[in-house]
Structure 1
C-alpha cells in the first residue's frame, strides 16, 4: 500500500509541472477570453453577462470581411499547397540523395513570417494594387509559399517510407502512372494528408498578413484583413478587448467544427476503404 502511494506521488511530480503550465498558459487565457467575450461591460471591470460583444462584431463590416477573406484563403490556399507539395515531394523522392533537396526546400520555413511578408511586399507591392481581387490573390500566393516547405518535407518523408516493391508489382500488372498515383501513392500517404490538412485548416484560420501591409487600416483599404488580424487590431490598436474576445471565440468554434468534420470525413473514407 505504501509502495502504491509512493508511486502515485512520484508520478504526480512528473505530471504536475505540465498541468501547471497548461492551466497557466491555456486554461487561464481561455477563461479571460470567454469572460470578456460574454461581458457586456468589460471596460468597467464589472461582469454583466450577455451577447453584446457578439452583436458588435457581427454588425461590424470589417469583421464580416475578415471572415470572408479567411474562408476564401483557406478554401483556395490549402488545396493548392497540398497539390503542389505532393507533386514536388514525389519528384524529390525519386532523385539521388533526396535529403539534400529536402534541406533546400526547408530553408524558407526557417525564415520569419514577417521577413517573408516584407519580401512579398517588395516584389509585388500590394500597396499599389487597385483591386481587392489582386490583394486576395497575393494573400493566397503568400500563404502557399509560406506553408509549402514544411509540407514538402512531410510528404517526401512519407514517399520514401513506401515499399518500392509495391511500385514494381503495379508496373508488372500494367498499371498506368495515374492509377499508381491514385491507388498506391495517395493511399500510402493518406495519414500525412489528413495531418497536413488538419493543421493547414488551423493555420489558415490563424493566418495574419504581417509585412504585407503597413498597418490594419492599410489592410482594410485593400481588402486584406483576416480574422486574426482583426483580433490583433482590436487588442493592440483599438484596445477593445470585448470585441477581440468575441471574435476569438468565433474563431475557436469555426476551427473546432472544421477539424472535427475533417476527422469524421477521413474516418468514414477509411472505414469504406477497409470494407
Structure 2
C-alpha cells in the first residue's frame, strides 16, 4: 500500500483510498485552517475594540470630573479633588481585560476568559442635574477599621495582611505586597472545561521575596505559586487553556487579577500600619 503523505494514515486502507476522497480531505482541511485564521483575526479585532472602549470611558470620566470641578469653583464651592490613575488598561466585570505591567512582573500572559462579544456604541444619556453615580466607598466600622470581607465587582477581599517594610522586595514604587493578603475571584476552571471556579489568591512570606499562591476551589489539593503575581496567574491561565485545547489570545496583568490595581484595594492597603516605612513606595491616595 502506498501511503499518501500529508493525509491522516488512519483513514487510508488498501483499495478504497480514491483521489476524489483525497481532494475532499484537502479541501476540508484548507477550509478549517481558513476558519481558524479568521477566528483569530476577529478575536484580535474585538480585543482592540474593547481596549478602545475602556480608554474612551476613562477619558469621558476625566472630562466629566474636570467639568464638575469647574462648575463647583464658579459657584464658590471649590473642592480639591485628585486621583492617581496609573493602572494598566483592563477589562474588569469578569473581563479582566488587558493591562501590561511596566515592572519586573511585566510578562505578557495569555487569557481567553472572554467570549467573543459584539462591541456596540453606548447609547447617549440625557443630561440630568443629579445623574452622577454615588462613588463606592470602603466599608468601615465606628473606629475607622475596614470591614471584611468586601466584594468589589468580581473580586472578594478577605484579608489585607501585614506590611513588610524592612525587606524592599515586598513593595515597589507602585505596589505593596502585604503578607497575609487574601482575595477570591472567579475564573475558568483548570479541570472542567465547561465551568468556572473560584480561585483563592494569597501573598505569603517567601523569605527574601513574597510568594504568590493560587488555589482553585475545584482542585484544592493543587497550589500554583510563583515569586510574582503575574507568574502565578500564568500557571493558572496555561492550565485553563490546555484543558480546553485552545490557544490564549489576550494579555492580562497579575497585579490586576490579584486586585492590587483596584483604587479601593490601594486605599485599603495604604491604610495599613507601616506603609510610610516602605522607602520605595509612592502613596497614591490622600489621607
For the superposition of Structure 1 and Structure 2, which TM-score range results when normalised by the shorter chain? under 0.3
User: What is the TM-score with the length of structure 1 in the denominator?
Assistant: 0.28
State which structure, 1 or 2, has the greater radius of gyration over its C-alpha atoms: 2
Structure with the larger strand share: 2
